[in-house]
Amino acid sequence: MAFVATAARLIRGRGGRSPLRPFLCVLCASLSALCSAPASAQKANISGLSDLTFTSVNFSGVDASMNQDICVYSSTFPEKYQITASGSGTGGSFTLASGSDTLVYQVQWNSSPGQASGTPLSAGVPLAGQSSSASQKTCNSGPATSASLIVTIPFSAVDAATAGNYSGTLSLTVIPE
């Protein structure tokens, strides 16, 4: 997950804080599908991911959140899988960096598409027991999407952040169950 926060001249409001902190954040996801059985027996696939861009984060006390509907396929019956996320921060943490400055973000997962909230993910910890409605590995027939990825930059992180260009990577791994 790569986020880029664009450095900008801050307009100082009361208390020395900016009423609007501009951030350009881009999400790039690295994907992998792993199998615990031979490749011919069980398969999993993630498709439909694209960059998420936070063009500005409003300095109004509200978390900045974006969600993306994607396709997760598992060849098992029933179509169960586990998802694991890790960031590019220390120890796989969900952080973005601008030089030595960091900005934390949160990741949620929902095994249904069209959702704005889900189960919070912890870096490197599998979330098991997820179900997929995908009937094809790229959702090219049947439902077009089967899950929601939700990324949030908490207001508290924005409030404490220095303006800059922040970037990072979020890696998702799906394993059939």
Residues in the chain: 177
CA nearest to 163, candidates 12, 59, 8, 49: 8
Q: What pLDDT digit, counting tens, does each position of 107-166 carry?
A: 999 999 999 999 999 999 999 999 998 888 788 888 899 999 999 999 999 888 888 878
- What does the pLDDT look like over 46-104, one tens digit per residue? 999 887 777 666 667 889 899 999 999 988 888 899 999 999 999 999 999 999 999 99
E-strand stretches of the chain: 20-21, 25-26, 29-33, 44-47, 53-54, 57-58, 64-74, 80-87, 95-98, 101-104, 106-110, 119-120, 127-131, 147-153, 170-176
Domain range annotation of the chain: 14-176
What topology is assigned to 14-176 in CATH? Immunoglobulin-like (2.60.40)
